[in-house]
Amino acid sequence: MTEHSFPISILVTGASGQLGSELKDLSKSFPDFKFIFAGKQELSIINKDAIQKFFDTHKIDFCINCAAYTAVDKAESEKEKAYLINDTAVGHLAAICSSHKTKLIHISTDYVYDGSEKQPLKESDKKGPLNVYGESKLMGEKSALSKNPETLIIRTSWVYSYYGHNFVKTMIRLLKEKKELNVVNDQIGSPTNAADLAFVIMQIIKMHLEGKKINGILNYSNTGETSWFQFAQFIKEQTGSQCEIHPVTTAQYATPATRPEYSVLDTTLIKSLTGIKIPFWKDSASACIHRLIKD
Ligand SMILES: NC(=O)c1ccc[n+]([C@@H]2O[C@H](COP(=O)([O-])OP(=O)(O)OC[C@H]3O[C@@H](n4cnc5c(N)ncnc54)[C@H](OP(=O)(O)O)[C@@H]3O)[C@@H](O)[C@H]2O)c1
């Protein structure tokens, strides 16, 4: 049984990004739900008054917060902006969701971990962000849960999609343009197709409506692990590019933000709570790559 009145309405903030766009595609499979997709132009999460007014004038049962400051390197020089979007605004949004009895589903990152572990990271494992982006996201998790303990936070990693800007799209372009490329081989993680993440979010919403509520933090990525170099090699194989890719170390490839060496997420908890079968990263990546090269 549910305490919600129909139709169930779902607000997606940051709707023009990768995850927001995948949710928009997936929403076509849920004709009984009323989706409201709001990009930054329509509803900026840093505008507390606008968010308050929006919730006062619309019935929102679920809010999926896809809005984030995601420019990992730029965040090092735009600290205030990163904290404002990824922490302060998330805290306000969580409080407003709490006062309107809206279930908040917020997305966080593998970059909350310090990368020193060598086995898949559980939700409760030690945190220790190495960069401003990761720190701002960790603070956002804490703000959301303190303002609204019923928030569900899903940490994910290495997100790509048919939409937006991401490693897969950049590699497809560079593999076409260049004869040689250097790609980092000593950072290990699990790529995540945003379409798969969108799918699990909708499963969780369906479960919630059936009375199976999940709060707190869950880790989600596609299964398996890889390095950026191996990921690039896989994209090369799939596209048939002749470009030569050289593995390099993080030390040889300086970036403003430090990244964790190892950030593979342990997805045991989300699998046991939802019963979903998570696709292997190569299967999901292959589907996205072939869709992209067909265009
Ligand atoms: N991308 C990854 O590899 C990755 C990895 C782990 C976790 N995550 C997390 O996954 C979630 C979804 O990420 P994504 O890959 O879909 O990111 P994305 O493609 O960068 O989308 C984020 C969206 O949020 C928008 N936005 C920025 N400031 C906003 C504001 N003040 N109000 C409303 N919208 C705002 C952005 O608009 P503009 O582009 O116009 O600024 C963008 O459309 C985020 O929480 C992210 O931290 C991502």
Q: Which residue has tokens 């804490």? A: 142
Give pLDDT, residue 1. 42
Mean pLDDT of the region 23-37? 97
DSSP labels for 115-165? S--SSPBPTTSPP--SSHHHHHHHHHHHHHHHH-TT-EEEEE-SEE-SSSS
Give pLDDT, residue 145. 98
Q: Which residue has tokens 């995850």? A: 19
The contacts of residue 92 (CB under 8 Å, 6+ apart) are 45, 48, 51, 147
Catalytic residue among 69, 133, 220, 262: 133
3-class SS of residue 107: strand
Structural domains of the chain ordered from first start: 9-165+192-222+264-279 (3.40.50.720)
Give pLDDT, residue 295. 78
Q: Is 80 exceeded by the pLDDT of residue 272?
A: yes
The CA distance from 1 to 210, in Å, is: 6
pLDDT band at 140 (very low <50, low <70, confident <90, very high): very high
Q: Which atom of ligand 1 is nearest to the CA of 71?
A: 20
Q: Is the CB of 44 under 6 A from ligand 1?
A: yes
Phi, psi of 22 (to 5 degrees): -70, -35
Give pLDDT, residue 218. 98
> What pairs with residue 223 in β-bridges?
280
For 81-115, write each residue's pLDDT tens digit: 999 999 999 999 999 999 999 999 999 999 999 99
The CA distance from 29 to 34, in Å, is: 12
Q: Is 80 exceeded by the pLDDT of residue 2?
A: no
Six token digits for residue 282: 């190569």
Of 168, 183, 151, give the one whose Cα is nearest residue 222.
168
Q: Is 70 exceeded by the pLDDT of residue 254?
A: yes
3-class SS of residue 86: helix
- Residue to mutate, 66, 93, 135, 197, ligand 1, most ligand atoms under 8 Å from C-beta: 66
Q: Is the CB of 68 under 6 A from ligand 1?
A: yes
- The CA 3 to ligand 1 mean position distance, Å, reads 31
Mean pLDDT of the region 137-155? 98
* Known active-site residue 162: no
**Which DSSP symbol is given to 85?**
I
